[in-house]
Amino acid sequence: MIKLGTRGSKLALAQSTQVAEALTRATGQQVELVEIVTAGDRSNAPVAELGVGVFVSALRDALTAKEVDFAVHSYKDLPTAPADGLVIAAVPPRADSRDALVARAGRTLSDLGTGATIGTGAVRRIAQLHALRRGLTPVPIRGNVDTRIRKVLDGELDAVILARAGIVRLGRTDEITETLDPLTMLPAPAQGALAVECRSDDVETVALLAALDDEYSRAAVLAERALLATLEAGCSAPVAALAEVAEGDDGPEIYLRGAVFSPDGTNTIRLSRTGTLADPAEVGRALARDLREEGADQLMGDQE
């Protein structure tokens, strides 16, 4: 029996269960889930205040202490810097990376009028809502998916925006009233992807988890996170990115879109790059350099 460390939230347990079942199907290895409480689970403060990696450090401590053999993270929650002694052994096939709207009365974003309250804890989403110039009112919120959707059902908010992947993994797809086009709401780097992490010196587990790895999903996430790292921006910064892998004239290639916003949405820089799968991280670094040349650092500096 191999031990999988997971947060205890419904979404984390759903994600970890899916990974455990996939590993058993692929290798026959039985998996035991071990719940780990993180600092993020104990606090109601906004993620932007808690800092990058707030949901991650306790899981990594358990890995390092050999209390568990591997851990499953929402990839977008991971700091961009690598962790000593640990390795991302697998990136399973990525779920839908887009954001989704859950609104009262089945409304879409265009149905929501001036002053409509939309709950989200992400600076990236808040900036893009402001950029629409529709007079919408973003409301910072924290809590799990159930808690956030309940605020809509109870009439406290007109709508909430969440990652579509999380809603689907919890079996609540029917409550989505609109899946947002990336042209309207570009997602966070690595949104919809999972990171399966273990100790780098645990050769057996590294080899076992390789059965879960999806080459295209890993390449897309590497490109997006390289952009984020090069901009020296954390997961709570107003930065968005989406990479897609498609067949090009000379084989598969990466198409990466990136954007940086001022928090009030008045200024936006959007650019794109293409590259090969040979070095997806370089595609991200190159696009980050392009964004910097256009003034990305000044836009992100508006946060201070």
Contact 94, 176 (CB under 8 A): no
Instruction: Clarify whether 77 is annotated catalytic.
Output: yes
Residue in 77, 99, 158, 202 annotated catalytic:
77
C-alpha to C-alpha distance for 294 and 34, rounded to whole angstroms: 46
8-state DSSP, 80: S
C-alpha to C-alpha distance for 86 and 135, rounded to whole angstroms: 45
8 vs 16, 59, 73, CA distance in Å?
A: 10, 11, 12
**CB burial class (10 A; 0-12, 13-18, 19+) of residue 276?**
middle
Contact 300, 285 (CB under 8 A): no
Radius of gyration, CA atoms only, the chain: 19
Q: List the catalytic residues.
A: 77
